[in-house]
Each structure stands twice: as C-alpha cells, then as structure tokens.
Amino acid sequence: MIPSITDWHSFFFYLFATVTCVFALAVLFATNIVRMAFYLIISLGASAGLFILAGAEFLGVMQLMIYVGGTLVLLVFGVMLTAQERFISMKTRGGEWVMAAIVGGALLVLLVQTAFSIDDWTAPRADLSAVSAIETQTATRLGLGLLGIRPDQAEEADPVLRQGMSGYLLLFEIVSVHLLVVLIGAAYLARSKRVTSLARAAEMRR
C-alpha cells in the first residue's frame, strides 16, 4: 500500500525533528569547534525542512541561505584561517553547564507554553480540506521580490503607492556584501598573524 501525502508529511516531520534535536545535542557536547559548526549546519538545515513542511518556504530558504550558507560557513573559514588552538578544542566548565541549563530550561518552558497556547497548533482547521495547495505557496512572489520584481504592484489601486513599491534586490545585495566583507576580514586577520609569526621566527634564527 502506497503511503498517502499525510503519512509522508508526518514521516518527514519526525525525520527532520529527530535530526534537528540529535545534532543540536551533538553541538552541545562536542569539544571541537569545527565539528560543532558541522553539526550546527545539519541541525539548522533540518529545521529549515521543518519550516518548509509548515508552509513557510520563505523562512526555510532564508535559514538555509543566511545561517547555513553564510554565518556558519564564515565561522568555519574563520577558525580554519586563524587556526588558534584554544578555539579548536573548547572545554565547558561546570558553572557554564549550570548557567546553560538554567537559561535553556527557561527558554524551553517558554516555548512549550507558547506552543500549547495557540489554538491552531492543537486543533486542526475546520476548513482544511477546502484550502488548496496553491494558496499556501508564497515563495514565488517573495522570490520575485528578492530579484527586484514586485508581482503585487499591478494589484495596487493607488498610483502613488504603486510608484513607491520596489523589490528587495538592494537589501539582498547588502547582505551578500556584508558576508563577503566578513570573509575578507577573517582572511586578513589570518594573514597578519602569519606574517607576525614568520617575523618572530626570523628574529629567533638571527
């Protein structure tokens, strides 16, 4: 018997949720910062899958692009370029574990309480069968907006507001330039430390 769409949706939900939790714990207990970044990439990638399953395709894509494709990659490059031993292997003290448990536990209680206080999360919609799949697709319109095209501009009746409507291409490029500047900064810091270490070695040889 071929599983239905609902069964596949539940299967991928539990799969992504399990991967997210397992690799989040791996980040917590790992001591090597490069492995931490790798585990965090997988955890955030699985959580992006949860956003997509929930119908928030834009949030899922933004998480993949900004967090997975940007911040964590820069973190890995920064560690690999600087190569500082105290950051390669990190050990957590007892007091830090206690503080993390208190803060994380308080945040978990807040999130669980908020989740169960929303009626739509605990009870299905009454008109769920009447909602078509195409009505939940918003990624196309938002993707065009990132490319500088506003598909909803023609729907605006006010000509003044229509002239002021523009896409998000400039903001998208600003984020890209920001990530590039951070990567160049990490490479510059690594180069300056390497030059300093070479100069000290030359002085010691003299």
> What pLDDT is recorded for position 160?
76
What share of the chain has pLDDT > 70, as a percent?
Answer: 67
pLDDT, greater one: 25 or 88: 25
> What pLDDT is recorded for position 1?
41
Q: What are phi and psi of 89, to 5 degrees?
A: -125, 115
pLDDT, greater one: 165 or 204: 165
Query: Do residues 46 and 20 make contact, with C-beta atoms less than 8 angstroms apart?
Result: yes
Per residue in 29-71, pLDDT tens?
A: 888 777 887 888 899 899 999 988 887 777 888 888 778 777 6
Domain boundaries, the chain: 94-122
> What pLDDT is recorded for position 148?
75
Distance separating alpha carbons of residues 27 and 35, to the nearest angstrom? 8
> What kind and span of H or E run contains 23?
helix 5-29
Of the candidates 112, 115, 92, 116, the residue with the CA atom closest to the CA atom of residue 104: 112
> What pLDDT is recorded for position 102?
93
Q: Whose structure tokens read 């910062």?
A: 33
Query: Do residues 16 and 46 make contact, with C-beta atoms less than 8 angstroms apart?
Result: yes
**Rounded to two decimals, what is the model's pTM?**
0.61
What share of the chain has pLDDT > 90, as a percent?
Answer: 9
For residue 89, list its beta bridge partners.
32
For residue 32, list its beta bridge partners.
89
pLDDT, greater one: 135 or 93: 93
Give me the half-sphere count of Cα atoms (radius 13 Å) on the Cβ side of residue 53.
19
> What pLDDT is recorded for position 106?
93
